[in-house]
Structure 1
Amino acid sequence: MSKLLKIVMASSLVLGLAASTASADAVKGQKLFSKKLKKPCGMTGAKFAAKHSQDEWEAIKEAGNFEAEIIKICPAVKEGYIKESWQEDIYDFSYEYANDSGNVPSC
């Protein structure tokens, strides 16, 4: 009985960690912005995210124009530079620190 319980507990732990790792994250997006986009954009993450409100960022993302909007804001960034895997995290960062959110990032 205790062996079965250990297996169930270990499985839940692994599934819990896998589920949280797979989801997008504003903190990871902030790190990605600082490492990959801060220099080409020539602005801080706070200024970048404040370019739009949360509703505007959401509409841009839903329309499938998120990468194009980054390129519009940061002309030094070329198409294809922003990997698909980065986009969800950078979107979460932008949404979290949008101009109407009241939040200010530390980058």
Structure 2
Amino acid sequence: MQKSLSALLGAALLLGSFSTAANADVKRGQKAYLKKCKRCHGNGTKGAAMKTQKEWADAFADDAALFRSWHKDDKKAMKYIDSSRFKKDAPNLKDFLYEYGSDSGNVPSCG
């Protein structure tokens, strides 16, 4: 009984991690960053290092409320942030920025 419960919990955890990974992609986030953010924030290394991993996670919480507030005075940025394209990009963008946040120890390979 205990073995089957452990196996079931392990499978649920594994399946949960795959579904999260399937919803967001660091490489796609990097592409979105380079296309939409690089002009103002510099290359991906510089941009992602502007915040810690926790700050990036907080920025994208609550429908990216904090992220939106950082850009509220930039009409061009807000046009993108209010678009359906941003809704699609946001999970990937969050993963990219989180992966390479200032405290991550990671550096993007290009851009």
Instruction: Identify the TM-score tier after normalising by the shorter chain.
Output: 0.5 to 0.7
Identify which of 85, 89, 102 aligns with 2:88: 85
Query: Which amino acid is the alignment partner of residue 46 of structure 1?
Result: T
Structure 2, unaligned runs of 5 or more: 1-18
Contact 1:67 1:79 in 2 (8 A): no
Bigger Cα Rg: 1
Q: Which residue of 2 aligns with 1:55?
A: 54
Report how far residue 38 of structure 1 moved: 1.2
Measured against aligned partners, the alpha-carbon deviations of 1:21-75 in whole angstroms (never above 9, x if no partner) come to: 8511011100111122212x14111111111111111122224325415626x94
Aligned residues: 87
TM-score, reference length from structure 2: 0.64
Structure 1, unaligned runs of 5 or more: 1-18
Partners of 1:70 and 1:87 in 2: how far apart?
15
The alignment's C-alpha RMSD in Å is 2.6
Query: Which amino acid is the alignment partner of residue 60 of structure 1?
Result: A
Contact 2:41 2:47 in 1 (8 A): no
Q: Indicate yes or no: 2:104 matched with 1:101.
A: yes
Greater share of helix residues, 1 or 2? 2
Partners of 1:26 and 1:66 in 2: how far apart?
20
TM-score, reference length from structure 1: 0.66
Partners of 1:104 and 1:29 in 2: how far apart?
14
Contact 1:52 1:98 in 2 (8 A): yes
Partners of 1:51 and 1:87 in 2: how far apart?
17
Partners of 1:84 and 1:30 in 2: how far apart?
15
Runs ≥4 residues deviating over 3 A: 19-22, 74-77
